[in-house]
C-alpha cells in the first residue's frame, strides 16, 4: 500500500476500535506516519499489509492494533465469522467459551459471547479463568456445537490466541481442514465491513461450577496412588493451580510442594523469559525447591495447563527435565498395560517411534499423525496419544485434546507405584530400554527474525535434497507438501537413513521457528550399550543438520 492508502486503512480501523489501549497506540502511529516518520510508517505496514491468518490453530499473535495483531476488532471479526459458519451448519447452534489469565483473555471471551448471542448462537461462558482442558471437556460435556478458548498457551507474555473446537461428530476436537478455511472465509466477509454494525446481545449464560466439578471428578478418577509421593508443582504463572489442586486432592494424592512464585495467574510472567517448561531456565525454581525438599519428582504445567513437564534426578545426581518423548513412552506403556492389547496408540510423526514398538509388543494398533493434537484426537478407537512437545492424552473418553492435568495424575500414580517397588523413574526407563530397545531423540528449534526466512530455508532444502547428513546416507527423502501416506499436504520434510534413523524438518505452527527432529534407535547389546549407540547416531545427525540449515 502507498502511505496514503496505509493511513486511510489505519483510520478506518481506528473508527471501529473499542479498546482504549490499542486506540491510543494506533492514533499515535497515524499521527507520526502522517508527518513522514519512517518508523511509524513501517509500523503501520507491519500491522496492515497483512492480517493474522485463521488456521487449524485458530488465531495466535502479538497484542496490538491492526489486523496483523491480536485485538478486540480482530477477535470480534473472528467471532462473527465463526457464528456465521455455525449458523450455516445448524439451525440452533451453541458454543461454550473459556479464557485464561493472559492480557485481554477475559475481554476477548466476553466480546465473543456478546457477538455469538447477537448472531443467534446460544452462548455459554465458563465461570472464570480456567485451563484449556476444562474448555475442551466442556464442549463434549455440555453437548454444544463448538468451543472457543482464549489463550496463547506457552507463547511470550505479549501474545494471545483463539482456539476453536467443534462438537457433534468432531467430538470436541480442534478444527482441521477444510473447516478452518471455511471459517476463515466467513471471517474475511465480516472484515469487509465495520464491527460497529454487528448485532450484539448480553443474552448469554455464565455457567456455574458444575462443569468444572465434573471435570475434576472424572480426572481424579484416573489416580490410584499407592504410596505418598513428594513432588513440586508449578503453574508457570498460569491458570493450572486451582483446578490441579482440586484434582490432586480428590484423587488422593499428597499435596504438592508449591512453587509459590509461579503459582497464580500473572500475565507478565515475571520469573521466566518464556512461559514454556521446555525453555532453558523455566524450571529453575522447581529444581531448587525439589532439591530443598528431597522430591521424588517435579511437575510443571504451561500457562493454560494443557502441557505437562516432568523433572527427575538424573544419573549424575542433578535435576533434569524428562523429554516429551520420555514422558510419552512411559505413559504410553502404562496405557498399553491397562488396555490389555485392545485399542490404538497414536503419536505425531515428529515424536519418537518408540510408541510403535510398544503397540507391536502388546498387539495394539499404532497410528502416526501430522503434528498437533487436532489430528491425534481424531483417531478412531484411541487409547492414548502424545506429541513430543509435552502434550499427552491419557483419557480420550473424557476430553479430545492434550491435557496436562490428567497426565499429571497418571504420571504421579506411576511414580507412587514405582516407589512401593523400591524403584524410580530412571529404573522404569531402564526397563523400557531392555524390553523395547533404546530410542534417542533431539528436537532443535532455530529462531528466525522473519517468517519469510523460514520458507526460504525450506525451499532451499527441497531444491537441494541432501544425500548424506552427519556421515549417514539418506535412503529416502520425503516431501509432504504434495500429501504423503494419506496425510493432507503439509510443509514437512523427512529424511530416512540407512540403519533406521530419521530426521523431520518443519516450521513451527505458532512461533517464528524452524524445527528439526532427530530419532535413532538400537536393540543391539545390553541397555547401556543400546542407549549409547542410539545417542551417538542422534548426535551425529543433529550436528549434520545444524550444518545443513545455516
Distances (CA, A) of 69 to 18, 102, 148, 158, 175: 15, 15, 18, 10, 21
Answer yes or no: 153 catalytic: yes
* Gap between the Cα atoms of 255 and 240, Å rounded: 15
**Do the strands 159-166 and 146-150 form a parallel or antiparallel pair, or are they unpaired?**
antiparallel
What contacts 24+ positions apart, CB below 8 Å, involve 491-496?
491/458, 492/349, 492/370, 492/371, 493/458, 493/461, 493/462, 494/349, 495/466, 495/469
Which DSSP symbol is given to 346?
E
Catalytic choice (94, 105, 145, 153): 153
DSSP secondary structure of 275-330 = S-TTSTTTTHHHHHHHHHHT-SEEEEE-TTS--EEEEEE-TTSSEEEPPHHHHHHH
DSSP secondary structure of 234-248 = E-TTSSHHHHHHHHH
Helix/strand/coil for 103: coil
The gap from C-alpha 84 to its chain's centroid, in whole angstroms, comes to 27
Answer whether the bond into residue 178 is a cis peptide, omega within 30°.
yes
Q: Are 13 and 65 in contact (CB under 8 A)?
A: yes
Buried b / exposed e along 33-70 (16+ C-beta atoms within 10 A): beeeeeebbebbbebbeebbebbbbbbbbbbbbbbbbb
Contacts of 331 (CB under 8 A, 6+ apart): 384, 386, 392, 394, 407, 410, 411, 414
With cell 482464549, the residue in question is 150
Please list the active-site residues. 153
Amino acid at each position: 500500500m502507498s502511505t496514503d492508502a496505509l493511513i486511510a486503512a489505519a483510520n478506518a480501523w481506528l473508527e471501529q476500535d473499542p479498546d482504549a489501549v490499542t486506540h491510543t497506540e494506533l492514533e499515535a502511529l497515524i499521527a507520526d506516519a502522517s508527518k513522514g516518520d519512517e518508523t511509524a510508517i513501517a509500523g503501520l505496514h507491519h500491522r496492515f499489509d497483512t492480517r493474522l491468518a485463521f488456521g487449524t490453530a485458530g488465531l495466535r499473535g502479538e497484542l496490538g492494533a491492526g489486523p496483523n495483531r491480536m485485538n478486540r476488532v480482530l477477535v470480534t471479526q473472528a467471532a462473527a465469522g465463526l457464528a456465521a459458519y455455525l449458523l450455516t451448519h445448524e439451525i440452533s447452534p451453541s458454543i461454550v467459551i473459556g479464557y485464561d489469565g493472559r492480557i485481554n483473555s477475559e475481554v476477548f471471551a466476553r466480546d465473543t459471547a456478546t457477538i455469538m448471542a447477537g448472531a443467534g448462537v446460544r452462548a455459554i461462558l465458563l465461570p472464570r479463568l480456567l485451563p484449556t482442558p476444562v474448555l475442551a471437556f466442556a464442549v463434549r460435556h455440555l453437548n454444544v456445537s463448538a468451543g472457543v478458548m482464549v489463550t496463547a498457551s506457552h507463547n511470550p507474555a505479549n501474545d494471545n490466541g483463539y482456539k476453536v473446537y467443534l462438537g457433534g461428530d468432531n467430538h470436541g476436537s480442534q478444527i482441521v481442514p477444510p473447516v478452518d478455511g471455511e471459517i476463515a472465509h466467513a471471517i474475511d466477509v465480516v472484515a469487509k465491513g465495520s464491527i460497529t454494525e454487528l448485532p450484539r446481545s448480553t443474552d448469554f449464560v455464565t455457567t456455574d461450577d458444575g462443569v468444572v466439578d465434573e471435570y475434576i471428578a472424572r480426572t481424579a478418577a484416573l489416580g490410584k496412588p499407592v504410596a505418598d509421593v513428594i513432588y513440586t508443582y508449578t503453574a508457570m504463572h498460569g491458570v493450572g493451580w486451582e483446578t490441579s489442586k482440586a484434582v490432586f486432592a480428590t484423587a488422593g494424592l499428597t499435596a504438592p510442594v508449591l512453587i509459590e512464585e509461579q503459582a497464580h495467574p500473572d500475565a507478565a510472567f515475571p520469573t521466566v523469559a518464556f512461559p514454556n517448561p521446555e525453555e532453558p531456565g523455566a524450571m529453575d525454581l522447581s529444581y531448587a525447591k525439589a532439591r530443598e525438599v528431597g522430591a521424588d519428582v517435579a511437575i510443571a504445567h504451561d500457562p493454560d495447563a494443557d502441557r505437562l513437564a516432568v523433572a527427575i534426578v538424573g544419573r549424575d545426581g542433578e535435576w533434569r527435565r524428562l523429554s516429551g518423548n520420555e514422558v510419552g513412552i512411559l505413559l504410553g506403556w502404562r496405557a498399553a498395560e491397562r488396555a490389555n492389547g485392545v485399542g490404538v496408540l497414536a503419536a505425531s510423526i515428529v515424536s519418537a517411534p518408540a510408541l510403535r514398538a510398544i503397540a507391536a509388543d502388546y498387539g495394539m494398533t499404532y497410528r502416526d499423525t501430522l503434528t498437533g493434537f487436532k489430528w491425534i484426537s481424531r483417531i478412531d478407537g484411541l487409547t492414548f496419544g502424545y506429541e513430543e512437545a509435552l502434550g499427552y492424552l491419557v483419557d480420550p473418553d473424557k476430553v479430545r485434546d492434550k491435557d496436562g492435568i490428567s497426565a499429571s495424575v497418571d504420571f504421579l500414580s506411576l511414580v507412587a507405584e514405582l516407589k512401593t517397588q523400591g524403584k524410580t523413574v530412571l529404573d522404569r526407563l531402564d526397563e523400557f530400554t531392555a524390553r523395547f530397545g533404546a530410542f534417542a531423540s533431539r528436537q532443535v528449534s532455530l529462531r528466525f527474525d522473519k517468517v519469510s526466512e523460514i520458507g526460504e530455508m525450506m525451499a532451499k532444502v527441497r531444491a537441494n535434497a541432501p544425500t548424506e547428513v552427519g556421515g549417514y546416507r539418506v535412503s529416502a527423502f520425503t516431501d509432504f507438501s504434495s500429501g504423503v501416506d494419506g496425510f493432507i499436504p503439509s510443509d514437512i520434510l523427512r529424511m530416512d537413513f540407512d540403519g533406521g534413523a530419521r530426521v523431520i524438518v518443519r516450521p513451527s505452527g505458532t512461533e517464528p521457528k524452524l524445527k528439526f527432529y532427530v530419532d535413532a534407535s538400537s536393540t543391539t547389546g545390553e541397555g547401556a550399550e543400546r542407549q549409547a549407540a542410539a545417542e551417538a547416531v542422534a548426535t551425529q545427525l543433529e550436528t549434520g543438520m545444524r550444518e545443513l540449515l545455516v
